[in-house]
Structure 1
Amino acid sequence: MTYQDILEADAREIEPNQPNRVPEATPAFWLIKLMAVTMGETAADYLAVNLGLGLTLTTLIMCMILVIALCWQFAQRRYVPGVYWAAVVLISIVGTLVTDNLTDNLGVPLIDSTVVFMMALAGTFATWFASERTLSIHEVFTARREGFYWLAILFTFALGTAAGDLVSEQFGLGYLATGTLFGLIIASLASGYFTLKLDGLWAFWLCYIFTRPLGASLGDLLSQPADYGGMGFGTIPTSLGFLTVIAVTVCAMTFYRRRSS
């Protein structure tokens, strides 16, 4: 049986009451998402710079680990917090590394990376909708829809990294001002959703994109030396701190789901 056969069989099995494979956008979801993208920034810096592996080798290693994590995620038939968030943390690291490789190794300007990833994300959404007639995160029942979902997430991380670096470094706003800027954008989107009835689908994806530069700015602010505009805590303590918050929150979510089932 080919992969296409699996996708077609998977699509034929869609039922209204099938469990969703990804989580709902609850406050806990956004908390872990922000922690994950922040850790993705600091962990990528630690692996590539402090650990001495270099960008290329680090990217290859993390891509292989990400593939394993996604295979584990795709093997699930419902949302499993530990598996899902492990994949998110890893894809956050890889998204950062992809953008860093384009900037540092290939010399691609940040403005170009931002535009390219924006187009790639728009193309993913267009193909997803043309194939499935929906972009809803509440209807990720099949392998094909989940594939589009994770591809979109990868591009949101890469786009958010490029846009955040563009604003904080090339435009010279610094980490604190950049984080404040994107935090205000997210707050305005949330306000628009709750008070002005902004479409929930686009509010979700726009917030998903902008939490990446917010988290990256927060991570750099905490980890980078004072000479570079940071607070100097270092990449290891910062990464471990956010990883602890993620682990505790995921364990609490898992415990709650098991008690509720």
Structure 2
Amino acid sequence: MYKPGNVSTAPAVVAPHQPRLDWQMWFAALAHHSSSPWFTSFVYRLLQGKKDVIRLVQVDESQYPFSAQPPVYIRAQLYKYWFTGSAEGSEGPAPWWRRQRVQEFFPAVSLGDPTLESLLNQHGLKDKTSLKRSADAFLPRLLQSLRRLSRPFSGPAVLWSLYLVAATVCLLRALGRRPGGARPPPATKAPGGGSPRTGGAARRTGRCGGRRPRRRRRKARAGPGGRPMATPMAGPGGRLMATPMASAAPRRRSSAWSRRLRPRLPPTD
């Protein structure tokens, strides 16, 4: 058990394990023992020397004081425990606990005691037949094997071992999923309309999507009055020749647009 008993014994570290018997005793101490019928059965099994019940009290059977022969009488006392302060000193080893007796929780009984017999009959625990399970079932045999393997170890040690194994497995799986090298960046569409991988090459070679781009027409330089000017060209002998840019003349607008854009003149006399 992990509940305090000897005042000189340090409290045990049980987290994250939650002992079943210690947890039930905490609730049983809040009321009369008749409110907890399981405690009467617990005392009865200790008087009979049931090994499964003894392991709830002491995992190491060699340290159980009644391992050779079951006890003749059993009683339960209710105490209140407090931690000792640093200012409280005593001869010998410093006690961890300070306790005060409250009352007797369960009277002294033995096998065949009328008080014990009446309590067992009252709660229907006298000669109660246990459930029969098939000896060849897989699950009971598996649980018994696991119980025998974990018997030399305490509950917190078993739980911490399972947590460490689970954390190691998760860490190895996370390391195995990491990629060996960096992935190439995703291809983006080229602004010139080319394919994602050949967009830059298309701009350099002048091809976009397999088609040749249209050549831009050179705009004629405008002269005075908005008229197009002649473009000089080299003639025979290196002389410059003036060639008018007829194609650079602006397009005429439609009649509707010309009417709208034509300024209205004031009437004349």
Please state which structure has a larger fraction of its residues in helix: 1
- Larger Rg belongs to: 2
Does the TM-score normalized on the shorter chain lie above 0.5? no
The alignment's TM-score, normalised by the length of structure 1, stands at: 0.24
